[in-house]
């Protein structure tokens, strides 16, 4: 019941960039304690997905490609396959809906809704500032 590392890193990276305006991969790696090579792999992915834009060459770095209030956590998680849309029931094997319930379908319904709403309504702007310090 946790996010995978890539998703976690992505959120923290976007949050840091948002607070700094622009910054290099080197700075991100050091401040967020994310292995440099792994970090650039993720940032490259974030560029392709248009969350950030890259400035190459000397004095380069990354910037948000949109306003932080327009980047929801849900969007990030979906990009990194954290939500499989349909079946996302806890024990979900095959299709799990109102008719074909998994064992925990009813109990899971409320918390699930709450989490989804939270991820949809939370944007990079809303995140605790300086959370990267932890």
Pick between residue 60 and residue 111 the one whose CB is nearest to a copy of itself: 111
Residues that bind DNA (CB under 7 A): 4-6, 9, 24-26, 35, 37-38, 40-41, 43-44, 47, 54-62
Cα 129 from Cα 117, distance rounded (Å): 21
For a copy of itself (CB under 8 A), the number of binding residues is 41
* Interacting residue with a copy of itself among 70, 118, 120, 125 (CB under 8 A): 118
Binding residues for a copy of itself restricted to 41-60, rule: CB under 8 A? none
Q: Among 6-14, 23-31, 40-48, 52-60, which window interacts with a copy of itself (CB under 8 A)?
A: 6-14
Pick between residue 42 and residue 73 the one whose CB is nearest to a copy of itself: 73
Cα 131 from Cα 77, distance rounded (Å): 18
Per CB under 8 A, residues contacting a copy of itself are 1-3, 8, 11-12, 15, 33, 73, 77, 82-83, 88, 90-96, 100-108, 110-111, 114-115, 118, 122, 126-128, 131-132, 134
């Amino acid at each position: 019941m946790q996010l995978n590392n890539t998703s976690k890193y992505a959120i923290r990276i976007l949050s840091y960039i948002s607070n700094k305006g622009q910054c290099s991969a080197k700075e991100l790696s050091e401040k967020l304690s994310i292995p440099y090579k792994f970090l650039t792999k993720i940032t490259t992915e974030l560029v392709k997905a248009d969350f950030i834009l890259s400035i190459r060459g000397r004095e380069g770095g990354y910037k948000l490609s949109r306003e932080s209030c327009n980047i929801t956590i849900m969007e990030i998680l979906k990009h990194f396959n954290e939500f499989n849309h349909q079946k996302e029931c806890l024990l979900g094997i095959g299709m799990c809906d109102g008719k074909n319930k998994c064992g925990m379908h009813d109990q899971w319904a409320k918390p699930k809704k709450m989490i989804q709403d939270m991820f949809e309504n939370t944007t990079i702007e809303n995140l605790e500032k300086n959370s990267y310090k932890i």
